[in-house]
Amino acid sequence: MTEGYADASMSTIAARVGGSKGTLYNYFPSKQALFAAFMREECEAEATAAYTLENPDAPVAEALRSIGRKMMRFIFSEKVQALHRLVIAESHRFPELGRTFYEEGPREGQIRLAALIGAWMDAGKLRAADPLRTAEKFADLCKAGLYQRALWNVSIAAETDIDRNVDDAVAIFMAYFG
C-alpha cells in the first residue's frame, strides 16, 4: 500500500515482514500470487460477516438492509478506499492487478450475494432473474452517488449517508424485484 504495486518488490516485502525473499517465494510464486492471497485474506472475514444472515427468517428487505450497510462500511473504510485507489492507479500498467483485485474482492462478494438472492428467488420472495446480475445491481444501487466522491477524496461518506443510500437502494430494489 505504501510503495504501490509497481515499486513493491518481493525483496522489499520480505525485508518488511522479516524474512527472506527465498522464503517468500516458497509461499508465493509471484507478486501477483502474493497480492491475490492478500486480497483473499482482507476480504474473507468481511465477506463472511456481511453475507451471513443474522436472522435467516428475516424479510428480504431487512436482510438486504443489513447486508448493504455492512458491505458499504467495508467499502468506505480507509484501508479499502486506499486499496481501490492503488488498483486504479496501477492496473493500466499491470492488468493482472485489476483482474486479481476484481476476482478476489468485488466478484467474490457478488457471488456470495447472488447465492442469497438466488435462494430468495427460488423461494418466491423475489422475482426470478439472473441472481448474479441482480446482486451487481444491488451493490451498484448501494454505492450510487457516494462511491466516486469517496474514491476521489471529494467527500467521505458519513454513517447517515451510508444508511440513507442503503435504505434507498433496498426500496428501489424491492420495488423492482420484490
Mean pLDDT of the chain: 89
- pLDDT digits over 66-77, tens only? 999 999 999 988
Q: Is the pLDDT of residue 32 over 90?
A: no
The pLDDT value given to residue 30: 83
* pLDDT value for 1: 66
* Burial of 116 (C-beta count, 10 Å sphere; 0-12/13-18/19+): buried
Rounded to whole angstroms, the Cα distance separating 33 from 97 reads: 10
Q: How many whole angstroms separate alpha carbon 25 and alpha carbon 7?
A: 17
SS3 at position 167: helix
Q: Is the pLDDT of residue 5 over 80?
A: no
Please report the pLDDT score of residue 126 as a whole number. Answer: 98
CA distance 140 to 143: 5
C-alpha–C-alpha distance, residues 118 and 20, integer Å = 46
Domain boundaries, the chain: 33-177
pLDDT above 70 covers a percentage of the chain that reads 99
- The whole-angstrom separation of Cα 116 and Cα 164 is 23
| Superfamily per CATH, domain 33-177 | Tetracycline Repressor, domain 2 (1.10.357.10)
Confidence of residue 17 (pLDDT cuts 50, 70, 90): confident
Distance separating alpha carbons of residues 67 and 134, to the nearest angstrom = 14
